[in-house]
Amino acid sequence: MRAWALWFLFFLGAWAQGGLTSPPPDLSPEVFAIARELRCPVCQGESAAESNSGVAVEMRRLIAEMLGEGKTKDEIKAFFVERYGEWILYEPPKRGVTLWVWLLPVLGLILLGLGLFAYFRPKKPLPPELLEEAERRLKEPQ
Amino acid sequence: MGSSVRNWLWLLLVLALGGLFYWGMKRNPKELPSVLAKERRPAPDFTLPLLPPYREEWGEALRLSDYLGKKPIVLNFWASWCYPACYEEAPVLEATWRRYKDQVLFVGINTQDKEGEALRFIQQFGLTFPQVFDPRGRVGVDYGMYGVPETFLIDGEGRVRVRHAGAIDQASLEGYLKEVLP
C-alpha cells in the first residue's frame, strides 16, 4: 500500500513538472524553442520562453508572427540582435571576443589533464651512480 | 625553464585572473547598451493611436515619421504600474515640455498598460504633451527597450542620440536637450 502511495506521489510530481514545461496551447513549441535562446530584457537570468513579463510575452508573439511569415530561426534571432545587440542572445556567439568564452574551458581542461599527467607519470628510476652512492653511505659506519 | 621564471609566470597568471575578476565585479550589470543610441540609428517609425484627451489636437493616430527630421523629439516610454520611477519623472517631463515646446516635441508612449489607468495617470500629472497607447509594447521592442521608464532623444535629423533608462531628472534631461538642440 505504501509503495503504491509512493508511486502515486512520484507520478503526481512528474505530471506537475510536465504541465509546467509544456507551452500553452496557443503558441507552437517552435516559438518556445526560439524564445529559449533569447534573453528576457527585464528579467534576471530568465529567457523569453520562461518569463511572463509583458516584454517576454510580446517577444513570443513576435516570434510566432515571424514564423507565420515563413522567417527562419536565424532571421528571427537577427531581428532581436538588430534591436538589442548581441546581449539578447543567451549563448554568446562563437566568434570574435566571445569565442574565448567557448575556448577557455576546453583549454583549461587540457592544461589540467597535462598537469595531472605530469604529476602522476611513473617516476624515472634513479641514476645508478646515485643508488650506489646511497648504498655506500648506508653501509658506512656511523 | 628556470624555477624563478616559472614562479613569475604563476604570479602573473594569478594577477591577470585577479584583475579580470575585479573588472568583472566593477561592471554594472544594469548598464545595458542601446544599439540605437550607440550607432545613432534613424529612429524606428511607428503609428499608434493617441489617447482620447489628445485626439482633438493631434488626430486619431500619431505617426512618428510625420515629425522626424523637423525638430528634436523626446520619446518617453511609461506605464501607470511603474511606481515610483514613472511617477517621479512625470512632473519633470511636463515642466520641461512646457518650457521647450517650441523647439522640441515630446511624445509619451504608454506601454503595456490599461487605458483607464493610463488616463488616470495623465490626469494626475496634467500631462499636456501627446500620449500614444501601445498596450502590447511592440514599439518598445523596436527601440530595444528593457523596461519602463525609458527615454530616448532623437535629434533634428531623426537619429537616436541618447537612451536614458530609469526615471529622468531635470538636470539630465536639460543636458540631453542641449546635445540635440542646434
Closest residue in chain B to residue A59, using alpha carbons only: B141
Separation of CA A47 from chain center = 14
Model pLDDT, residue A19: 45
In the block, which residue shows the cell 565585479?
B25
Alpha-carbon torsion (B112, A61, B164, A43), positive or negative? positive
Nearest to B18 by CA among B7, B6, B26, B30: B26
pTM of the entire predicted model: 0.75
For A96-116, the pLDDT digits (tens) are: 788 888 899 999 999 999 999
Nearest to A41 among B33, B36, B147 (CB): B147
* Rounded Cα–Cα distance for residues A66 and A82 (Å): 15
Q: What residues of chain A lie within 8 A of the CB of B112, using their CB?
A: 54-55, 58
Give the start-to-end residue ranges of the domains of chain B: 35-180
Count of structural domains within chain A: 2
Of A83, A85, A87, the CB nearest to B141: A83
Shared domain for A75 and A110, answered yes or no, is: no
The whole-number average pLDDT for the span B109-130 is 96
Q: Which three cell numbers stand for residue A131?
A: 643508488
E strand or H helix that includes residue A141: none
Say if residues B128 and B159 touch (Cβ distance below 8 Å): no
Other C-beta atoms closer than 10 Å to the C-beta of B158 total 18
Contacts of B141 in chain A (CB under 8 A): 55, 58-59, 62, 80, 83
Kindly state whether B142 is in contact with chain A, defined as any CB-CB distance less than 8 angstroms: yes
SS3 B9: helix
ipTM for the predicted complex comes to 0.81
Strand bridging mode B47-49 / B105-111: unpaired
Instruction: Please give the residue range of the domain that contains residue A72.
Output: 1-91
Minimal Cβ distance to A58: which of B32, B36, B136: B136
Q: Give ∠ CA A96-A47-A28 in degrees, rounded to 5.
A: 110
- A23 and A78 in a single domain? The answer is yes
Measured CA to CA, the distance from residue B180 to residue B75 in angstroms comes to: 13
Judgement on whether residues A74 and A123 belong to the same structural domain of the protein: no
- A1 and A65: one domain? yes
**A44 and A100 belong to one structural domain:** no
pLDDT in tens, B85-105: 999 999 999 999 999 999 999
| Top CATH class, B35-180 | alpha beta
Contact B79, B116 (CB under 8 A): no
Q: Mutating which of B136, B148, B152, B160 best tests the A interface, going by the most A Cβ atoms within 10 A?
A: B136
Check B137 against A58: CB less than 8 A apart. Answer: yes
